[in-house]
Structure formats: C-alpha cells, structure tokens
Structure 1
C-alpha cells in the first residue's frame, strides 16, 4: 500500500512545484519586462532548485506558454459572465471591453504576455488563438439578446473586432505604460466601428421575437 501511494505523492509534489513556478513568474512579470526574466530567475523567486525548474520547462518560453493559457482562461471566465440589462449590441461590446480592461489592470502578467510589444512571438500566437474563443463569447453575448443578421464568415468578423480592441490596449501600454481610460474608450470605438460595417445599429431584441406559430401583422 505504501509503494502504491508514492506516485500520487510525487505527482502532488510536482504539481505544487509547477504551480509555485507559475506564481513566481506572475510576480516577476509585475516587476520586469518578459524578455528580462529567465527560468533561473523564476526558480529563485519560487524557492525551487534550478534542476527542478528545468525538469518542468525547457526554457522560460515554455513556462510563458503555459502561463498565458491560464491567463486567457481566466479572462474568458470574466467575459463569459452574463451581461444584462442591455439596450443595444454596442453596449455589449463596451461591457466586454471594460471587463477585459479591468482584468488587465489587475493582472500585470496578462498585460505583459498578451498585450506588450515585448511578448515573444510564440506566446503572442498562442494568445491570438485564444482570442478566437474570446470573440465567440462576444458573439454569443449579442446573440443572447438580439437577432443578428445572417453574415457570411461572422466569426472571423468578431475575431477582427477583438484584435482591433487589443491593438488599442497594446498602444496604450506602449505609449503610456498603462491602460488609460481614454484608450479603453478608443478600443470600444474601434471594435464597434468595425462591427458596425456588418451589423445594423439597431437589432431586434430576442424578447421581442414572436413565438413559433405566431403571425405578426404586416406594418
């Protein structure tokens, strides 16, 4: 029985050390730019031997890839929360962007790995793929409240809107070192202006949609 318990104990210890390395990387990313941090730095901050750190990650880039996946999942959980009440689809987009801005303000590591110009290309590509899921969440939020028109390749359009907002977030960090409220508003304008090329300004609310079988009199 004792021998059978060893793998589970070893696995738990390994998970604990891995979590400690990820937590240490988060802390360091609040203090330094991502390209100024090494895996040795992370191991020292976590209080873990260098050899153990290299057992889990080949290099800092591999750790960043795991961390950015966690950060993207956290952000998406924030965005996925219900949005109500709403008066129009632009309000939905604005609420999502406000939520994203609040998340980035509270998580400097997310700013570094998802928005910064110093982000390693491989990590940025990983986060861009996660943006596809984020764009689906926005699309679903709008679709929950409004009847959207049948637009070819609609998911691609929403993805581009997310990238437009990300661009303004990134410019704010590059130019000002922080997310300015004015730049968050610019992000809303850019995303809504782009989506407005495909979505009518006013969409019919789903709660105004007739039930199946109900005939709507002609206007």
Structure 2
C-alpha cells in the first residue's frame, strides 16, 4: 500500500472516531492527501471562519445537487447559495469539480461508517450478512439521494482517475472480509479479497443501471444485486461456512 493510501486510511479512522461533524470534515480536508488534489498548497484557512466557509461551500453544493443535475451546477451558483464571495471560494476549492470530489469522499466515509454497524452475529449464514449489507446501502441512498447521485449519475464529474475512489472500494471489501472472518471460518485462498471486490463491482454495476433508469435503486434491482453477487460468491464459498466458536 503506497503512502497516499496509508495517509487517507489514517484520516478515515480519525473521521469515524470524531464526534463532531465539522471536526470530521476539517480533519479529512485539511490533513489528507485529498487536500493536495483539491488545492496545490495546503488549505490556507484553518481558523473557525475558514472552517465555516468551507463547510458552507460543501453544504451549498449538496443542497443544489438535491434538485439539479450535478453537471449543471457552477461554482458561481454554489458561492451564491453558500453566501461566500467567489474570490474567497478559490482559497478552498479551485473549481466546482473539486467541491464534488470532496463531497463524494466525505459521502464514502459516511457510508463506510454506517456499514460498520451491520454485524454478522445476527446471521447464521454469510448470505444473510451480505444481503443485509446491500440492503443497508440502499437505505443510505434512500435517506440521502445525493449520495447515490454522486456515484451513479451520468452527469457526475469523472472521478475514476482519482486513487481515493479505488482505495474506498478496497476499504469496503476489507470491511466485508474482516466481518466474515470474525464470524465464520473463511477459506484461506490468496485472492479472496479480489473475489469480494468483484462481487462488490457486480453490485455497483447493477445499482448504476437502476439509478440511470429510475434515478434510484428500485426493489427489483436491489434483488438483482443480491442474487447476482451471492451467485458469484457461491463459486468460491461453500453454501454454509462453519461458524467460529465464541
């Protein structure tokens, strides 16, 4: 794992452990490698006023994205919504894509935080845990549709070249593997996490189709995601994994 991934991982942990939402955002955006992607130099403002302005810009973009296509939202519109002069906004984000990149990063951490609350102890079989995990993802998207929009919308700025996206995928896969390994005797073959990553990609692909057709994850496509991912994993995992003694 390279240095960028290690530093982002440390900030993810700090984000999750912090009780104050504003502090979480500040920790991630000021100290993480993401900051270097968004602005060539470290964020200039770490004062209370600076933190408040950065938060207003993020929340302004989020509010506008609730009713508009992300691709149609301009930096000027976000500044007007946030009540921040455009000249000041450049101290925090060089362009509108950087704002939505930051929002997507923060959303991904939020999603990880929620998924950690899904425990395998409630399920006798691995299939039940994975189904619950996928269902919880859809609940997250239903509760905050901008999270799904930033991931699946056709007009979302292209984030695929940014290493943080790949890293977050691996964070989800690692969470699933650790949870399964805590509860069950998981087969110890070398590429088990690659198998889980493919299953995760299957779910994402089906969710993408659903969102682009219906602007949400429908029950039909939720069932398809459950069926397809579990069918794939059955090629590698036995129908019933032995449970570990507690």
Cα pair distance change 1:12/1:154, threshold 3 Å: same
Counterpart Cα distance in 1 of 2:226 and 2:166: 19
SS in 1 for 2:245: helix
Alignment-derived partner of residue 47 in structure 1:
83
1:160 and 2:191 correspond: no
Alignment-derived partner of residue 132 in structure 1:
170
1:178 and 2:216 correspond: yes
Counterpart Cα distance in 2 of 1:127 and 1:167: 15
Deviation at 1:77, TM superposition (A): 0.5
Aligned length: 200
**Higher RCO, Cα 8 Å, sep 6+:** 1
Counterpart Cα distance in 1 of 2:142 and 2:118: 21
1:26 and 2:62 correspond: yes
Counterpart Cα distance in 2 of 1:128 and 1:91: 26
TM-score by length of 2: 0.77
SS in 2 for 1:56: coil
Q: Deviations along 1:41-78, whole A, 9 cap, x unmatched?
A: 11111111111112211101111111111100000001
Task: Please show how residues 108-119 of structure 1 align to structure 2 within 5 Å.
Answer: 108-119=145-156
Structure 2: which 5+ residue stretches go unaligned? Answer: 1-44
SS in 2 for 1:198: coil
Counterpart Cα distance in 1 of 2:124 and 2:183: 9
Cα pair distance change 1:124/1:170, threshold 3 Å: farther
Correspondent of 1:191 among 229, 232, 237? 229
Counterpart Cα distance in 2 of 1:98 and 1:113: 19
SS in 1 for 2:235: coil
Counterpart Cα distance in 2 of 1:64 and 1:150: 39
Structure 1: which 5+ residue stretches go unaligned? Answer: 1-8, 209-219
Counterpart Cα distance in 2 of 1:165 and 1:76: 16
Q: Give the CA RMSD over aligned residues.
A: 1.7
Which one has a bigger Cα radius of gyration? 1
Alignment-derived partner of residue 36 in structure 2:
none
Alignment-derived partner of residue 72 in structure 2:
36
Alignment-derived partner of residue 90 in structure 1:
127
Q: Is the 8 A contact 2:203 2:226 kept in 1?
A: yes
TM-score by length of 1: 0.86
Counterpart Cα distance in 2 of 1:185 and 1:159: 19
111-120 vs 58-67, which moves further: 111-120
Deviation at 1:20, TM superposition (A): 0.7
Counterpart Cα distance in 2 of 1:156 and 1:118: 29
